[in-house]
C-alpha cells in the first residue's frame, strides 16, 4: 500500500493562510513535512500554524509578506533563504483583479507580472542551490485551467500564469539531471473565498443571484460539485513525494473534468 511520507522534508508554501494554499500546508504537514507558511495576514497565518500536524515532531513556522509588494516580498524571501533551506517549494499567491483585455492599464499588467511571475522566479531561484546540492527537490506551481482555456474576465491571470508555465517547463528540463522536478497544477473551480468573490462579481454584473451563478458553474463540472481544497493538497503531496520522481515538466488539470480540450 502506498504511504506518502515527507518526514524530514522542509516545505515553503505560498498563500497558505487560506484556501488552496492552506489545504496544501495541512496535507504536507500531515505527511510529516516541516512547513513554512507564507502570506500577508498574520492572524490567519497563526490560526493555520496552530492547525498543522506536529505528531511526528515537525517544526513549523510562518513568514508575513505581501506578494503585491515586489520589493518587500523579495527582501523577505532573501532573508528567509539566508537562514533556511527547503526541499519542497509551492509557488502560490492571490490572484490579480478580474477584468477584460481592454479594461487594464499598463500598470495593471506590470503589477500582475510581479505578482504571478516575478515572485515565483525569485523564490525558485533562491531555492534551487540547496536542492541541487542534495540531489533532490520539488518545485510545484499553483496555476489555473485558464492557461488552457482563457477566461475573458481574467486577462491578467491568463497571461501571467501562461508565462510562468512556459518558464517552468524550460526549468524542468534544466533541473531534471539534479533530481529536481518542476510541475504545475491547473486549478479548476474549488470551494474557496477567491472563487466566491469572482462569482459574487459575476452575479452583480449579470443582475442575477449568487446561487444562480454558482449553480451554473457546478453544472459545467462533470462531477457536479466544486473541488474540496484538501483534494488539491493530496495531489500536491503526491507530486512532492518520491513516488512522483519520474513526473516532470507536467501541467496537471485538477478540475473535475471541466476542461473540454484534449491538450
| Angstrom distance (rounded) from CA 11 to CA 192 | 22
The reply to whether 220 and 127 lie within a common domain is no
**Cell (9 digits) for 261:** 480540450
The reply to whether 39 and 80 lie within a common domain is yes
Checking if the pLDDT of 192 tops 90, the result is no
| Count of structural domains, the chain | 2
Residue 125 belongs to a domain: yes
Long-range CB contacts (< 8 A, 24+ apart) of 152-156? 152/100, 152/101, 153/98, 153/99, 153/100, 153/202, 154/95, 154/98, 154/99, 155/99, 155/100, 155/101, 155/103, 155/104, 156/96, 156/97, 156/99, 156/104, 156/108, 156/109, 156/112, 156/116
Domain membership of residue 206 as a residue range: 191-226
The reply to whether 48 and 173 lie within a common domain is yes
The reply to whether 81 and 199 lie within a common domain is no
| pLDDT the model gives residue 153 | 86
Tens digit of pLDDT for each residue in 67-108?
A: 999 999 999 999 999 999 999 999 999 888 889 999 999 999
Tens digit of pLDDT for each residue in 107-129?
A: 999 999 999 999 999 999 999 99
Residue 173 belongs to a domain: yes
| pLDDT the model gives residue 213 | 85
| Angstrom distance (rounded) from CA 35 to CA 14 | 11
Q: Are 80 and 63 in contact (CB under 8 A)?
A: yes
pTM above 0.85, yes or no: yes
The reply to whether 202 and 91 lie within a common domain is no
Chain centroid, CA 183 distance in Å? 11
Q: Are 247 and 10 in contact (CB under 8 A)?
A: no
The reply to whether 170 and 199 lie within a common domain is no
Checking if the pLDDT of 242 tops 70, the result is yes
Q: Are 33 and 4 in contact (CB under 8 A)?
A: no
| Angstrom distance (rounded) from CA 123 to CA 5 | 25
Residue 166 belongs to a domain: yes
The reply to whether 203 and 84 lie within a common domain is no
Residue 19 belongs to a domain: yes
Q: Are 193 and 148 in contact (CB under 8 A)?
A: no
The reply to whether 30 and 56 lie within a common domain is yes
Chain centroid, CA 220 distance in Å? 23
Specify the CATH number for the domain of residue 79.
3.40.50.720
Q: Are 256 and 222 in contact (CB under 8 A)?
A: yes
The reply to whether 88 and 135 lie within a common domain is yes
Tens digit of pLDDT for each residue in 145-154?
A: 999 989 888 9
Q: Residue 158 — φ and ψ, nearest 5°?
A: -50, -50
| pLDDT the model gives residue 1 | 62
The reply to whether 91 and 56 lie within a common domain is yes
The reply to whether 216 and 95 lie within a common domain is no
Residue 202 belongs to a domain: yes
Residue 147 belongs to a domain: yes
Q: Are 183 and 247 in contact (CB under 8 A)?
A: yes
Residue 261 belongs to a domain: no
Q: Which of 85, 168, 93, 163 is nearest to 128 (CA)?
A: 85
Residue 114 belongs to a domain: yes
Count Cβ atoms below 10 Å from residue 260 Cβ, excluding itself.
Answer: 8
The reply to whether 220 and 239 lie within a common domain is no
| Angstrom distance (rounded) from CA 237 to CA 132 | 21
Amino acid at each position: 500500500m502506498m504511504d506518502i511520507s515527507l518526514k524530514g522534508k522542509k516545505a515553503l508554501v505560498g498563500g497558505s493562510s487560506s484556501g488552496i494554499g492552506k489545504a496544501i500546508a495541512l496535507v504536507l504537514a500531515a505527511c510529516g513535512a516541516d512547513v513554512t507558511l507564507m502570506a500577508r495576514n498574520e492572524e490567519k497565518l497563526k490560526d493555520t500554524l496552530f492547525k498543522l500536524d506536529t505528531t511526528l515532531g515537525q517544526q513549523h513556522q510562518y513568514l508575513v509578506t505581501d506578494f503585491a509588494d515586489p520589493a518587500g516580498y523579495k527582501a523577505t524571501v532573501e532573508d528567509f533563504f539566508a537562514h533556511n533551506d527547503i526541499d519542497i517549494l509551492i509557488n502560490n499567491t492571490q490572484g490579480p483583479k478580474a477584468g477584460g483585455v481592454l479594461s487594464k492599464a499598463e500598470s495593471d499588467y506590470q503589477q500582475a507580472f510581479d505578482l504571478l511571475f516575478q515572485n515565483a522566479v525569485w523564490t525558485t531561484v533562491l531555492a534551487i542551490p540547496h536542492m541541487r546540492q542534495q540531489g533532490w527537490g520539488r518545485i510545484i506551481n499553483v496555476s489555473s485551467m485558464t492557461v488552457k482555456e482563457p477566461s475573458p474576465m481574467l486577462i491578467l491571470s491568463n497571461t501571467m500564469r501562461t508565462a510562468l508555465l512556459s518558464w517552468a517547463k524550460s526549468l524542468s528540463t534544466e533541473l531534471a539531471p539534479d533530481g529536481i522536478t518542476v510541475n504545475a497544477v491547473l486549478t479548476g473551480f474549488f470551494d474557496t473565498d477567491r472563487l466566491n468573490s469572482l462569482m459574487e462579481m459575476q452575479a452583480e454584473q449579470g443582475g442575477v443571484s449568487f446561487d444562480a451563478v454558482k449553480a451554473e458553474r457546478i453544472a459545467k463540472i462533470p462531477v457536479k460539485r466544486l473541488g474540496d481544497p484538501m483534494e488539491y493538497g493530496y495531489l500536491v503531496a503526491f507530486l512532492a513525494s518520491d513516488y512522483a520522481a519520474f513526473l516532470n515538466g507536467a501541467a496537471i488539470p485538477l478540475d473535475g473534468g471541466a476542461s473540454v480540450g484534449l491538450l
